[in-house]
């Protein structure tokens, strides 16, 4: 996309939603001397381009909901001119759960002022004709499916308008700290196949590979864990039906996608960074959990990708021992929804040390 400059205030490793949202938020703060370095030929080629793109404002705990609620509010009402089309389709989402779990979810929804309503199994069947579910749950009218392509494009366009450069095919192979004694600025030299770049700060936003990138900078990792998840696309047209996600017990979700329905059994096996091959048993596991009407729908395709976790919620922090390094990692299963909130938090951390 852009050529590699010789130096920049900030180098961001990774052009997924974490890196792009950080670049966008830095540019919005007037910090535009920023380079995003993405290993692949295109941005958002890994988790950020292979996910289910659901905007679910209510997450599994308060720490995650802090960022998903803020991120979802941004997606629903982005600043004027940010996106050329609405970013969320507003089809709504139903979270299915038993009574005790519904109470917990409701309390959290109230704490975060998320619009919701208690629904029965019959209400769900009315919203998705033919979908027989065993229980009701909570209806969130403001959730929906995210236009992933437009979101990624919007972050990139706004970042570049603010001065950010995005360099693809630019794997960060080595990072050499510059302690300043040689007359440098006390930052790092970043080595890529396009040449070297001097940067004062390095943002590691490399998803599943973030600990590996830190190691290339001789900085200890934070024990990130990557968990593979499959999506099974079925030939079934659910039109305007909402997202339906059983969050209580044996989890599964279905999400309409034009002439297909994407389904997941919410599998979560721990794998090494970069393992995205699909298990052959994934299709059967999904079909076992789905309501009857969908369980027999013909298969369109199956794919897998990784959700990467730090301890607890996402980690947006400066490294104590190597203060030129800022991590934006562990976006788990909510990174697209939460991206604007995470990008803003990261930009606040980075810009505190911009000269």
Question: Which residues lie near ligand FAD (CB under 6 A)?
Answer: 13-19, 37-40, 45-48, 51-54, 171-172, 205-209, 213, 229, 231, 305-307, 331-337
What's the closest the beta carbon of residue 25 comes to ligand FAD, in angstroms?
14
Q: For residue 141, what are the CA distances in angstroms to 47, 119, 343? A: 26, 12, 25
Is residue 127 a contact partner of residue 94, using CB atoms and an 8 Å limit? yes
Q: How far apart are the first and last CA of the chain?
A: 27
What's the closest the beta carbon of residue 99 comes to ligand FAD, in angstroms?
26
Pick from 7, 54, 73: which is nearest to 35 by CA? 7
Is residue 25 a contact partner of residue 344, using CB atoms and an 8 Å limit? yes
Is residue 172 a contact partner of residue 213, using CB atoms and an 8 Å limit? yes
What's the closest the beta carbon of residue 29 comes to ligand FAD, in angstroms?
20
What's the closest the beta carbon of residue 205 comes to ligand FAD, in angstroms?
6
- Closest to ligand FAD by CB, 40 vs 142, is 40
Cα–Cα distance for residue pair 340/346, rounded to 1 Å: 10
What's the closest the beta carbon of residue 304 comes to ligand FAD, in angstroms?
7
Tokens 């004694």 found at = 181
For the purposes of burial, counting CB atoms within 10 Å of the CB of 28, is it exposed (0-12), middle (13-18) or buried (19 or more)? Answer: middle
- Closest to ligand FAD by CB, 46 vs 201, is 46
- Closest to ligand FAD by CB, 81 vs 287, is 287
- Closest to ligand FAD by CB, 20 vs 294, is 20
- Closest to ligand FAD by CB, 35 vs 47, is 47
For the purposes of burial, counting CB atoms within 10 Å of the CB of 10, is it exposed (0-12), middle (13-18) or buried (19 or more)? Answer: buried
Is residue 13 a contact partner of residue 209, using CB atoms and an 8 Å limit? no
What's the closest the beta carbon of residue 338 comes to ligand FAD, in angstroms?
6
- Closest to ligand FAD by CB, 50 vs 125, is 50
């Amino acid at each position: 996309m852009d050529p590699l400059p010789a130096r920049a205030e900030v180098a961001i490793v990774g052009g997924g939603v974490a890196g792009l949202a950080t670049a966008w938020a830095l540019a919005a703060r007037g910090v535009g001397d920023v380079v995003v370095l993405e290993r692949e030929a295109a941005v958002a080629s890994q988790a950020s381009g292979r996910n289910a793109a659901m905007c679910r404002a209510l997450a599994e705990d308060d720490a995650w909901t802090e960022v998903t609620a803020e991120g979802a509010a941004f997606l629903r009402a982005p600043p004027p001119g940010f996106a050329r089309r609405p970013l969320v389709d507003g089809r709504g989402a139903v979270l299915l759960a038993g009574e005790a779990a519904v109470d917990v979810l409701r309390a959290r929804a109230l704490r975060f002022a998320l619009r919701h309503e208690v629904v029965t199994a019959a209400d769900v069947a009315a919203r998705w004709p033919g979908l027989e579910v065993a229980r009701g749950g909570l209806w969130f009218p403001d959730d929906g499916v995210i236009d992933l392509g437009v979101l990624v494009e919007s972050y990139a366009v706004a970042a570049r308008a603010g001065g950010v450069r995005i360099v693809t095919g630019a794997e960060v192979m080595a990072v050499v700290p510059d302690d300043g004694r040689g007359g440098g600025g006390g930052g790092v030299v970043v080595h890529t196949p396009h040449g070297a770049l001097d940067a004062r700060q390095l943002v590691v936003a490399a998803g599943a590979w973030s600990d590996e990138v830190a190691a290339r900078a001789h900085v200890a990792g934070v024990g990130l864990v990557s968990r593979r998840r499959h999506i099974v696309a079925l030939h079934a047209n659910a039109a305007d039906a909402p997202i339906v996600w059983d969050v209580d017990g044996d989890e599964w979700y279905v999400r309409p996608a034009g002439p297909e329905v994407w389904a997941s059994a919410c599998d979560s096996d721990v794998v090494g960074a970069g393992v995205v091959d699909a298990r052959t048993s994934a299709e059967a596991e999904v079909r076992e959990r789905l309501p009857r009407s969908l369980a027999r729908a013909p298969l369109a395709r199956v794919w897998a990708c990784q959700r990467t976790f730090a301890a607890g919620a996402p980690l947006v922090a400066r490294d104590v021992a190597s203060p030129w390094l800022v991590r934006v990692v562990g976006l788990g299963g909510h990174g697209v929804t939460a991206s604007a909130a995470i990008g803003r938090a990261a930009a606040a951390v980075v810009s505190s040390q911009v000269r």
